[in-house]
Amino acid sequence: MTIAPTVSGGLKLLPEEEQDWLVLFKIADDADGDLARHFAGLMDEDSMWEEIVVPELDHEFSAQRKKIMKAVFEARDGAEEGLVIERKDAEDWYGALNQARLLLEEKYRFGSREPRDPNEIKDSEMRSAYFRNDFYGTVQSLLLEYVMVD
Amino acid sequence: MKAVEAPVKKSETRSREKTDKPWQVVVLDDPVNLMEYVSRVLIRVFGFSKEKADVLMMAVHERGRAIVWSGGREKGEMYVNQLHSAQLNATLEKAE
């Protein structure tokens, strides 16, 4: 996969093989969890977080996932090569990738911002998740550097 | 004859407000959120300068948590809601 900034201030993702598309499709799976309830767990019961805030966050997080999946499907089936993340969509992309990374962390405990040797990960599913997590983080960094600028 | 004045409730209220401890918005560290992103969220939600946001972000990173705001409960909840919306671990605590 090649990723490059565009002249219009976006980011272009150019999948080069089927595996690259699969990784993009996998974002929604990785991001599909109960993140809103995780945040509610940080609040005391008096705050009514479960009743009031969780449904709102659920809706917001779900909308981010749906939006980026629609973009991936359209890019895959479209005439243009690759997928462009425009500036107006960057927050949603960042958010969906963040959901995926937060939930992968919850599941696998990759554990830190420090790089890790993937060869030490024996479980193939976990190793695959590690690479996806790394890829998602790289896209997020590029979004911050090139697209989500003031 | 001078009328007897009713007790002044106002001063009691003021005195209680003075001793009431504020609520604090606390941001907690996590191994996922990128440091630059955390600073950006603090700037967006609280209107901090880049310098102040970076100092608080580093405090979260190095000490595991940082108090980023204190005041009334309702406003604190609004801020925590915005931090959760940005997917940062945050909570509201009564000041000790």
- CA atoms within a 13 Å half-sphere pointing along the CA-CB vector of A76: 15
Of the candidates A145, A142, A148, A141, the one whose C-alpha atom is nearest the C-alpha of residue A113 is A141
Instruction: Give residue A143's domain range.
Output: 2-147
**Which pLDDT band holds residue A36 (cuts at 50, 70, 90)?**
very high
Strand, coil or helix: what is A136? helix
Dihedral angle sign, alpha carbons of residues A89, A94, A96, A97: positive
Contact (CB<8Å) A47/B77: yes
How would you write A13-69 as a 3-class SS string?
Answer: EECCCHHHHHHHHHHHHHHCCCHHHHHHCCCCHHHCHHHHHHHHHHHHHHHHHHHHH
Query: Given a cut of 60, is residue B5 above it in pLDDT?
Result: no
- Summarize pLDDT for B55-86 with one digit per residue, the tens: 999 999 999 999 999 999 999 999 999 999 99
The predicted pLDDT at position B19 comes to 60
Taking the C-alpha atoms of residue A127 and residue A38, their distance in angstroms, rounded to an integer, is 24
Strand, coil or helix: what is A114? coil
Other beta carbons within 10 Å of A33: 17
The predicted pLDDT at position B63 comes to 97
- Summarize pLDDT for B9-57 with one digit per residue, the tens: 444 444 454 568 899 999 999 999 999 999 999 999 999 999 999 999 9
When divided into structural domains, chain A yields a total of 1
The predicted pLDDT at position B26 comes to 98
Higher pLDDT, A114 or A46: A46
CATH topology of domain B22-94: Ribosomal Protein L30; Chain: A, (3.30.1390)
The predicted pLDDT at position A133 comes to 94
Angle at B37 between CA B63 and CA A134, to 5 degrees: 95
Residue indicated by tokens 């992309």? A93
Nearest to A53 among B36, B81, B89 (CB): B81
B81 CB within 8 Å of a chain A CB: yes
Contact (CB<8Å) B37/A140: yes
Nearest to B32 among A101, A141, A148 (CB): A101
Nearest to A144 among B28, B32, B36 (CB): B36
The predicted pLDDT at position B6 comes to 52
The predicted pLDDT at position A114 comes to 60
- Summarize pLDDT for A78-125 with one digit per residue, the tens: 878 899 999 999 999 999 999 999 999 999 988 765 667 778 888 889
pLDDT averaged over every residue in chain A: 93
The predicted pLDDT at position A78 comes to 86
**CA B16 distance to own-chain centroid:** 20
Higher pLDDT, B47 or A149: B47
Tally DSSP H helices, then E strands, for chain B. 4, 3
Of the candidates B89, B78, B70, B81, the one whose C-alpha atom is nearest the C-alpha of residue B30 is B89
H or E, element range at A148: none
| Mean pLDDT within A132-138 | 95
CB pairs under 8 A between A and B: 49
Of the candidates A3, A1, A4, A8, the one whose C-alpha atom is nearest the C-alpha of residue A89 is A8
**DSSP string covering B10-38:** HHHHHHHHHHSPPEEEEEE--SSS-HHHH
- CA atoms within a 13 Å half-sphere pointing along the CA-CB vector of B5: 3
